[in-house]
């Protein structure tokens, strides 16, 4: 099976000219954790994770320590807001290099990428690197499980 058989074809994305405020609205409106970033030709140029935006308001020390359970309630971080300067940054200033799959790749390869990079979602591109969908860990895992004799036997 190929990735195109299980991907979501209506990928929610942001443009490389958008600011973080637009991205934040997309995260909230569509309830997603990752937004592919595309240029004017719909080519994938990066990804923006919801954690990239949330870390704008988390205390800096949370990125420096492994065990932050001792912190307690996080106090002011519960109502923290990003500054106007931070939220008006272009998405390209915060986005990450994309980990992606081509629609013609096999499901085991896609699932291995998800596991290796600790991701929940993968952008899916065509042969010209244009965004054509998104495949989640659940999409790919369920498609792989369907092939199991024990599951398909009912």
- Fold classification of 3-152 (topology level): CBS-domain (3.10.580)
- Give the span between the Cα atoms of 93 and 77, in whole angstroms: 23
Encode pLDDT of 17-65 as tens digits: 999 999 999 999 999 999 999 999 999 999 999 988 888 876 554 555 5
- Mean pLDDT across the stretch 147-151? 75
Is residue 93 over pLDDT 90? yes
Encode pLDDT of 110-143 as tens digits: 999 999 999 999 999 999 999 999 999 999 999 9
Helix (H) or strand (E) holding 116: helix 107-116
Which residue ranges make up each domain of the chain?
Answer: 3-152
Task: Identify the pLDDT of residue 24.
Answer: 95
- Give the span between the Cα atoms of 16 and 11, in whole angstroms: 15
Q: Are 59 and 34 in contact (CB under 8 A)?
A: no
């Amino acid at each position: 099976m190929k990735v195109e058989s299980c991907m979501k074809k209506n990928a929610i994305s942001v443009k490389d000219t958008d600011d973080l405020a637009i991205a934040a609205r997309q995260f909230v409106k569509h309830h997603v954790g990752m937004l592919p970033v595309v240029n004017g030709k719909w080519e994938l140029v990066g990804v923006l994770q919801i954690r990239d935006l949330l870390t704008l308001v988390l205390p800096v020390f949370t990125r420096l320590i492994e065990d932050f359970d001792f912190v307690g309630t996080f106090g002011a971080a519960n109502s923290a807001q990003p500054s106007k300067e931070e939220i008006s940054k272009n998405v390209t200033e915060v986005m990450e290099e994309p980990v992606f799959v081509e629609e013609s790749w096999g499901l085991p390869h896609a699932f291995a990428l998800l596991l290796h990079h600790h991701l929940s979602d993968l952008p899916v591109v065509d042969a010209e690197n244009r965004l054509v969908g998104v495949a989640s860990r659940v999409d790919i895992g369920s498609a792989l499980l369907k092939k199991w004799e024990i599951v398909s036997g009912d």
